Chains A and B, each alone.
Chain A
């Protein structure tokens, strides 16, 4: 069941009515049952991963509290707690590593032995990767580390903890929640507030718009151009990669808005995963605005423990590259994702190095310079997307060579690249949607909430917005017909 499926549109209204009909003390159980049902709709067997990860991290946290109460020597206590966290890391990341990376590392080992003509072959094993495992494993591990750091209290109610891990709006593709935010809200169940429903519905509607009207309409074009790139001029591949950058943003941001809207309708506020990343003026700002829950997870639980920027510049740069390399690997067991991560890490290192060297030299940030910086940042990010969008590293390199040797840049200036849109109407929809996305992102960039802005408008404008969303999703949305209901790109990670 995905948020953009008809099943969900039937499931959710029934659920939300039931949810509010139950007294508050029962709601966590209703929500837990709904979350497990929602997850099991994908595959009942996926619960075989979700339940053990929940149980293991729950008991490890309980164990941490137990040793804290029993052991009074600090060094022994620390060792015991570290041991428990280590077991937690081993079990959560171990499952993830086996399921997601066995094949990848096996192929690297085989390649290594092959270089020395040693005939040892690690058999390739392909496991069925449970949807959302990368997200809920990280969420569970984050909780355990927070407990270790005494940042959050141990959750003793197993149902509430299980709900924190399986919370259905976030289980498939995040945001990767923190116990300090979501678990805290689960412990103080929010009551009914009509404004939550309004706010949630608008979030959901905007997410649906991003997914169905922009991302899914672009998906066909991008797939067609990037799968047949060998027959395309370089400028067309570049244009398809630009469109991919917009597609993946709208796909994931759309999902995140839908998740946030669904959670809000139940009274929960979850982390904003995106804050107008393509309006960032530099790569550092981009990463503060893109997939915020994952970036902040890596920062908090990996980058800082590695030493962050506290141990000199060289060590900081190495740490950045480690974090981004692993972030790439998190997206998929393939070299192209690792290269994508390292490339972004490399950008950050260069940015920091240049900024460090130019320390004190201020350039007036005029509107023109801001625009130039944004375009520059977008180009860098988009270049990295090439590695992300291609099925493999080698293919990405070959496509890159093809772009350089057969660019045919005039196609950009003569706008023939726009011929990739199958008809004028598709181009019109794209332009209108892009303008709308730009407006919403601009509002977000200026630290305002677009929903609050809409709600503060006169009734006529509000209604125009509601009707516009409803009809454009219905008429322009890419669902049904030849499109079918599509999954979200980030479900694969």
Chain B
């Protein structure tokens, strides 16, 4: 073997990799002001609170659907809204409940579907969220790694495209969806009652959507409940904002009633809400099926306070 040639090859390769890393360090991270980067602040807040707290776990129905400050004030406990984009998947969202568990904590799960395949729905979005932040990497489960590997080119291309147009780590020019739109608790609390949804947004809304339940999701939540109980914390399931037509048909009402009964039957934790109490008509919704206007947030927060209070009283 020609040792000199081999050392030249290794040296050349090292130089190329160095160039590559220098280049990539300019392009990555790319989404530090993005909506998904709010998770950094949420995790930081969650880790900083070592007293009993209320932690909201779920998708963006929490982000655009609760007044955490009001909850905190009412119950006298710090509240952390860990709600994030639904594309991360239920499983990843539930991992957030394991970050900093203190005895006396109350974890409120609020998924909009209880049927999943235990995978990130959009692994590229998971990349955008975790980027090169080690504190968030801890939340990635082993089984998610193959999905992350497969979607890396999608993320990388996105970063390079943003670098090309000078958008790296800039605040996106989109209403409501950026890191600084979040308040200290993790809610987006920008005034939005006057927002007029576009036709496309309007068309994307699904009325009377019938959620489903599967064993994968139930088993995982039950395991989480077991874990939290072992740490002295409590897990409960609450209702999510349900977009209904002005007069929801009896079939749908019955379906949701059965759904709630089934959920309670299969879960080892408590379902604290009557889902029917979370039926809201279109005027309370912002741009998607689960995002509320400020008026909607007030209604939902009041209902949640009432549900939680009733649960705690019992």
Contacts and interface: CB of A to CB of B under 8 A. Distances in A.
B16 A470 contact: yes
Interface string B128-167: 0000000000000000000001101111111011001000
Given A194-B6, A467-B16, A480-B155, 11 more contacts: A191-B1, A192-B1, A193-B2, A195-B5, A197-B9, A470-B19, A477-B157, A479-B156, A480-B124, A480-B157, A481-B157
B5 A6 contact: no
A19 to B, nearest CB: 15
Contacts of B1: 191-194
Interface in A1-38: 5-7, 10
Contact of A6 (B2, B9, B124, B152): B152
Interface residues of B, number: 24
B70 to A, nearest CB: 40
Contacts of A98: none
A484 B20 contact: no
A474 B160 CA distance: 8
B9 A480 contact: no
Nearest to A483: B157
A475 B16 contact: no
Nearest to B5: A194
A201 to B, nearest CB: 8
Interface string A461-489: 00000110011001101011101110000
Given A194-B5, A194-B6, A195-B5, A10 B158 contact: no
The 8 A-B pairs at the shortest CB distance, nearest first, are namely A480-B157, A480-B154, A480-B153, A194-B5, A481-B157, A479-B153, A194-B6, A194-B9
A198 interface: yes
A333 B164 CA distance: 44
B87 to A, nearest CB: 16
Contacts of B6: 194
Q: Is the interface of A mostly helix, strand, loop or mixed?
A: helix
Nearest to B155: A480
Contacts of B160: 474-475
A466 B150 contact: no
17 contacts: A6-B149, A6-B150, A192-B1, A194-B8, A194-B9, A197-B9, A198-B9, A466-B12, A467-B19, A474-B156, A475-B160, A479-B153, A480-B152, A480-B155, A481-B158, A481-B161, A484-B154
A10 B149 contact: yes
B23 interface: yes
A251 B1 CA distance: 35
Contacts of A474: 20, 23, 156, 160
Contact of B156 (A5, A192, A198, A480): A480
A265 to B, nearest CB: 11
B151 to A, nearest CB: 8
A5 B124 CA distance: 15
A259 B19 CA distance: 26
A87 B71 CA distance: 79
Interface in B12-27: 12, 16, 19-20, 23
Nearest to B163: A475
A479 B157 contact: yes
Nearest to A479: B153
B160 to A, nearest CB: 6
A360 to B, nearest CB: 53
Contacts of B164: 475
A466 B16 contact: yes
Interface string A33-64: 00000000000000000000000000000000
Contacts of B9: 194, 197-198
Contact of A471 (B2, B23, B150, B152): B23
- Most chain B C-beta atoms within 10 Å of own C-beta, residue among A198, A466, A471, A481: A481
A198 B155 CA distance: 29
A197 B12 CA distance: 12
Contact of A194 (B2, B16, B23, B150): B2
B153 A485 contact: yes
Contacts of B149: 6-7, 10
Contacts of A479: 153-154, 156-157
Contacts of A10: 149
Nearest to B4: A194
A286 to B, nearest CB: 34
Nearest to B158: A481
A208 B156 CA distance: 16
Contacts of B154: 479-481, 484
Nearest to B150: A6
Contacts of A197: 9
Nearest to A474: B160
Contacts of B155: 480
Interface in B148-191: 149-150, 152-158, 160-161, 164
- Most chain B C-beta atoms within 10 Å of own C-beta, residue among A467, A480, A485: A480
